[in-house]
Structure 1
Amino acid sequence: MNTAVIHPRPNPIVAAMYTVRDMDVDVIVLHGPAGCSFMASRPLENAGVRVVTSALKDNDLIFGGTEPLVRTLKEVRNKFNPKTVAVVGTCASTIIGDDMAAAIRRADIGCNVFPVDCHGCMAANTDGAIRALKAGAKAGVIPQEECDRQTALLKAATELERQRGMAARTYLSPAVSPTKLHVCRQIADALKAGKKVAVVMLAKKELAYRFADMFVAVDEARRKLGGKTFFVANMDGSVGLPRIRRYCSNIMAELDADGVSIDRLVGGLDEYAVVGERMKAEVDAFAPDMTIFLGICHAYPDLKKEDILITDQPRELANYLNQNFLSAVGEVSSHNMVMGATGIVHLETADTLREIVREM
């Protein structure tokens, strides 16, 4: 029986918007009220994609939203001259039964425009992303093979959350992160004592820009204090949607410029839910005295209570603390900080480690 989850969960509409962004569409038209998904729409523009709304009013819910959508698409053509536009559905457009494809044909704005039929009441947020992938493949924006690959990965991610993540708990109260001093002193002391420290990143999308800073900080600490390190990350830039591949290449280039080497690249940023066992085999061969996990830590099998877990979500942090992972900390503002990033963004835990190392 599935757990009845009552804490807020990610929205399928927003998942669809992020997915078409990752396909490198030029404009997203959200077909619904002006305020729908407002908190996601504004930051998405920081990533270089235009986000507009058909701004449905109460009368449109009675007489239909075709006219507002046609007007919006023509305005999009005049203002942005896009090559690719995704029209993403909402609860409102679904309830009134708007035919977005018909409105797109009627607007006829002379570029590749495709509808994503989704709404907020779908079973999982990943269902919205899957519908966006299928729509993108049908429109020729991505290959069908990549659509199938991404769909399988999203289903695996959904199952991971149901088994071990936030969807496995009926309610999680957002947690305030414990201080970073405790975990950073552990890391510094381990390196100074000549111990072996593994850093494992299981990051999702642009959050890799922030978590990657921990590799830099631990490498700096090793150079000063000693010890041995082993770095593993899901940053294989040869797989994934176009924008996600760029994240990997940008981060790897910056790490290389800083003289930091990732010992093992295991999977891409979209594969966090399926690479845990492969990562574990690599880490076990290194036989670390301490392991630091970054991102979606529970994607790694057989976490130990003494492991250091660094996540970005306050409810996921609560999930870890409730399971007595006493060295779990949160970087809860990370998502807003990495929207539109093109290079590594400093991590508070990493900066805390740097400060401790300077004083040793």
Structure 2
Amino acid sequence: MDYIQPRPSSIVAALYTARDLGVDVAVLHGPSGCSFKHARLLEEDGMRVLTTSLADNEFIFGGHDPLVRVLRYAEEAFHPRRMAVVGTCVAMIIGEDLQSAVQDAKIETPTIAVDIHAGFRENIEGVLAALEPAADAGWISAEELERQRYLLAKANEVERLRGAASRTYIEPSRGDLKHVAARRLVELADSGATGVAVMNAKKETAYMFADELVALHEVCPDAAVTYLANLEDRGLPKVRDDAARILAGMREMGVDPELLGALDEYGANGPAIGERIRELDPDFALLVGVPHAVPPEYTRGIEVFSITNGPRQVEPLREMGHRHVMVEIDLHPKTLGVREIVESEFGAVLRSMR
């Protein structure tokens, strides 16, 4: 599809994947402003992001020497366990050999070269560009690489079928008023209706989406609600650590969810969640994270409350028949760098109902 709305960058996807692989320092080989916002956000999450700050003269004569200098500086200044050199559009256009610069720097830190640029239509190309050299370096197994390929394809499929990539342009929306939806949710829970509360969240966003399940349990502790969460122990190092922390936090707060899928399986997890919903046959469902992963045939006849962090996801969710659709604005920046569950806006509104 030819999109006329902004889409995620493959360079940024490579940076996030480097973080998930346990990289301490990532070096962006390009202009100082490339991926500036996300580089700053990732530093909040504990990964240092440096840049070779290529200028117009390096665009002509090449940036090999600046990259060598920055790699040596990074090793000496930060003593990282792992590093990654991440390409940019400039590095691609001028034909930089990133691996050659890593070798010429003569550094001891295990370092991968990620040949990537922003000219891909799908950001998953950036993920694969980081995972493939990581597998070659022995950071992940060949089996994990193939698992990631499958999960990326399923996530892409969900976005194309029912997500923000399902059409050329989608008008962004803030969704329904949270206090109206929260009042209805509490009304149903208090009435004796049966419900299911499902978190199917993408990686670190679960630090906030988990709060919405916790809040429902706090406000309606005796309600007939079954809790499900994609917190199984699989995936890249950071993904597994995040899942363990979030699950421990939920249990400390009184919610011990059934585990269904892992934090990187949100795109492939929909049918399994749907089958569990079908078994439970609830009157209502709260779906948070990536609710559009659950095919609509599983939620027909159920009053669905769905919460996403994508303003362009509101319209597709409504078309799927979800009656109450809400957006957690700026969720992603609020969950970078955290190590415990973060209160959500909808969770706070739910708590205010009592």
Q: Choose which of 124, 137, 140 in structure 2 pairs with 1:139.
A: 137
1:176 maps to which residue?
A: 174
**2:281 pairs with 1:287:** yes
For the 8 Å contact 1:217–1:350, the answer to whether it is kept is: yes
How many Å separate the matches in 2 of 1:313 and 1:70? Answer: 39
Indicate whether 1:352 and 2:341 are aligned: no
Q: Which runs of 5+ in 1 are unaligned?
A: none
Q: Aligned residue for 1:189? A: 187
Contact 1:222 1:229 in 2 (8 A): no
C-alpha distance in structure 1 between counterparts of 2:38 and 2:315, whole Å: 23
SS in 1 for 2:116: coil
Following superposition, the deviation at residue 177 of structure 1 comes to 3.3
Among 224, 240, 245, the alignment partner of 1:245 is 240
Q: TM-score, normalised by structure 1?
A: 0.94
Task: For residue 309 of structure 1, give the secondary structure of its aligned residue in structure 2.
Answer: strand
Aligned residue for 1:343, secondary structure, equals coil
Q: CA deviation at 1:277?
A: 1.2
Could you tell me how far 1:273 is from its partner in structure 2? Answer: 1.1
What is the SS of the residue equivalent to 2:27?
strand
Match for residue 338 of structure 1?
335
Match of 1:308 among 294, 305, 309: 305
Is the CA contact 1:133–1:151 (under 8 Å) kept in the aligned structure 2? no
Q: Does 1:255 align with 2:253?
A: no
> Following the alignment from structure 2 to structure 1, what is the Cα–Cα distance between the partners of residues 293 and 266?
7
Amino acid at match of 2:134: G
Per the TM alignment, residue 149 of structure 1 is displaced from its structure 2 partner at its CA by 0.7
Q: Within the alignment, does 1:269 sit opposite 2:263 as a pair?
A: yes
Q: What's the Cα RMSD here?
A: 1.4
Runs of 4+ in 1 over 6 A off after TM superposition: none
Distance 1:50 1:322 in 2: 41
1:232 paired residue among 196, 206, 228: 228
Distance in 1 of aligned mates of 2:96 and 2:161:
36
**Structure 2: any 5+ residue segments left out of the alignment?**
none
Q: Quick check: 1:178–1:329 contact (8 Å CA) kept in 2?
A: yes
SS at match of 2:184: helix
Identity across the alignment (%): 40
CA distance in 2, matches of 1:227, 1:107: 61
C-alpha displacement at 1:26, in angstroms?
1.2
Separation in 1 of the partners of 2:236 and 2:255? 25
User: For residues 192 and 80 of structure 1, what CA distance do their matches in structure 2 show?
Assistant: 54
Verify the 8 A CA contact 2:199 2:213 in the aligned structure 1: no
Give the counterpart of 2:55 among 54, 57, 60.
Answer: 57
CA deviations over 1:195-244 (Å, ceiling 9, x no partner): 11111111001000000001111111222xx43011111110x2100100
Q: How many residues matched?
A: 351
In the alignment, the residues of structure 2 paired with residue 317 and residue 275 of structure 1 have an alpha-carbon distance, to the nearest angstrom, of 20
Alpha-carbon distance between aligned partners in 2 of 1:58 and 1:261, rounded to the nearest angstrom: 56
What TM-score results when the alignment is normalised by the length of structure 2?
A: 0.96
Whether 2:111 is the aligned partner of 1:113: answer yes
Q: For residue 194 of structure 1, what is the amino acid of its counterpart?
A: G
Distance in 2 (alpha carbons) for counterparts of 1:171 and 1:329: 20
Secondary structure of 2:165's match?
helix
User: Deviations for 1:66-108, whole angstroms, at most 9, x for unmatched residues?
Assistant: 0110111111012101121100111110010000111111111
Deviations 1:1-54 (A, max 9, x none): xx3211000000000100110011111001111000001000101111111111
Once the two structures are superposed, what CA deviation does each residue of 1:281-312 show, in whole Å capped at 9, x if it has no partner? 21222111100110111100114484111001
Residue identity matched to 1:350:
G
Q: What letter is aligned with 1:231?
A: Y
In 1, Cα distance between equivalents of 2:90 and 2:269: 38
Q: Which secondary structure does the structure 1 equivalent of 2:83 belong to? A: strand
1:331–1:347 Cα contact (<8 Å) kept? yes
Which secondary structure does the structure 2 equivalent of 1:167 belong to?
A: coil
Deviates more, 1:186-195 or 1:304-313: 304-313
Residue 37 (structure 1) aligns with: 35
